[in-house]
Amino acid sequence: MESTTPTAAETLWAAKPPEIRWQLHVLSSPDRHWQGRIVPIGPRGVVLGRATEMVEAHDIGDPLLSRRHLELRPGPRADVLDLRDLGSKNGTWRGAQRVANVTLGHDGIIRFGSSLAIVEGDLATAMEYAHPTQCIPGRSGRARQLRADIQQAANGIAPVLLLGPTGAGKEFVVRELHARSGREGPLVFVGAPTLSESAFEAEFFGAIGTTGSKGLLDEAAEGTLVLDEIAELPLTLQAKLLRFLESGCYRPVGAPQEVASRTRIVATTNADLEALAGQGKFRRDLLARLRSHVVTVPALAERRSDFLECADVVAPLSADNSQRWAQVLSPDALEALLHYGWPENLRELATVLQALAPKAGPRPLARDDLPGWLLQATGPTGRTGHPVGPLALTPDATVLRRLLQRHYGNIAKVAAHYSRDRRQIYRWLEQAGVTDAEVAQFRRGP
């Protein structure tokens, strides 16, 4: 039976919870000054309404709000926020449910009057990367951390492994990485499954000798070469790629001898490479080499407060950004889009919005303008959000090693313990300095 004894990280959380900065991110409001505004929620909480006339209060020009409409205050635990409706006429809503008192977690969606907002628990990390960029929009903690991870990877010359679910926008991350690296050469994409075993030498390295076509390394010289879907690269080609990454040298077309490559290799995948390595389908030594820098791209559902900014990037309404999705979506339509799970992430978002764009006109797009299948999948209930607790923190090496020992190196069980994806566990292990050799030893047992 699984032990119920608190882990070291959980004990530390209970004794000294981290500083969580709660805030309200207003996504939609009839008051244009509040559109996109972020409201800090301090220890004393805040009151929202049409004309509150109070300290620690905010007045919003929304005619459907009561003078004093609702209060948000940090809860008895640091990882939750308490919402209290102050007897408003039109109510405070979480999805289809009108609420009087409710406990909210990070990314909880609420509607009050004609305004729609998300509450966020922010650990205030990577604040120096708060400014959105063209490729990585948004002001959420996840967006900031992603920009920070990209910058850290961009500063080096070692390979980069880019992880993330399908459609999460890895191509945008690659473009941001290439731009931040300051590399003078081009950005070249190639699907790993398209590289043939019979012609790999010519395709990748170029024809040997004084004649022949350029290979990918020549094409991307001084730049970035992206190997998309690296998990599908055949094992024989994985060995050749590993040899190149270890030596860093190749023979360009027409060159009499090998030279050191200045091409940066970025490998992308949505697969669990550790699991594939355990099954003998991916070389563990190549995986170790690719993990020099790991950047994990969050799913769209993990950064809902960035929804509108992401929408403007993947499906712009105008070439000059003079028209934005925040201007054409009604609160009801936006709320339904926020509640949808987006299993295909930004790729699916772009498809849905591109179909909606021709309907955009003088009146805001209503909920009924959305695809029926999306509304059916959304359902009537609202999101309460999820806690910002030990799961949001990086456990220390001692805690991770203890869990690995308890579960005999089973990463899936460690991920289940933290209710996180296995990719996040691998990232934590790397940050904590827990090596692949240690994990293998835990699998062998005492």
Q: So where are the chain's domains?
A: 18-122, 141-296, 390-444
The DSSP secondary structure of 213-239, one letter per residue, reads ---HHHHTTTSEEEEETGGGS-HHHHH
Residue-level pLDDT at 180: 95
CATH dotted code for 141-296: 3.40.50.300
Q: Note whether 18-122 and 141-296 share their fold.
A: no
Strand arrangement, sheet containing 57-59 = 57-59, 46-49, 70-74, 81-85, 101-104
pTM, two decimal places = 0.80
The amino acid present at 215, given as its one-letter code, is G
Per-residue pLDDT of the chain (446 residues; tens, 9 = 90+): 334 444 444 444 445 556 788 999 999 999 989 999 999 999 999 999 998 877 778 999 999 999 999 999 998 877 889 999 999 999 999 988 899 999 998 889 999 999 999 999 888 788 899 999 999 999 998 999 999 999 999 988 899 999 999 999 999 999 999 999 999 999 999 999 998 888 887 888 875 544 456 788 888 889 999 999 999 999 999 999 999 999 888 776 666 777 788 899 999 999 989 889 999 999 999 999 999 899 999 999 889 999 999 999 999 998 887 889 999 999 999 999 999 989 899 999 999 999 999 998 888 999 999 999 998 887 655 556 665 544 444 566 777 787 788 788 888 888 766 656 677 788 788 877 888 888 888 887 76
Among the listed residues 135, 110, 130, the one whose alpha carbon sits nearest the alpha carbon of residue 120: 110
**376 Cβ contact partners less than 8 Å away, ≥ 6 residues apart:** none
Neighbour count for residue 128 (Cβ, 10 Å): 10
According to DSSP, residue 204 is labeled I
**Token representation of residue 124:** 């205030």
Alpha helices (H) in 139-224, listed in sequence order = 141-154, 170-181, 200, 216-219
Find tokens 């389908």 and name the residue: 281
Class of domain 18-122: mainly beta
**159 Cβ contact partners less than 8 Å away, ≥ 6 residues apart:** 245, 264, 265, 266, 267, 289, 290, 292, 293
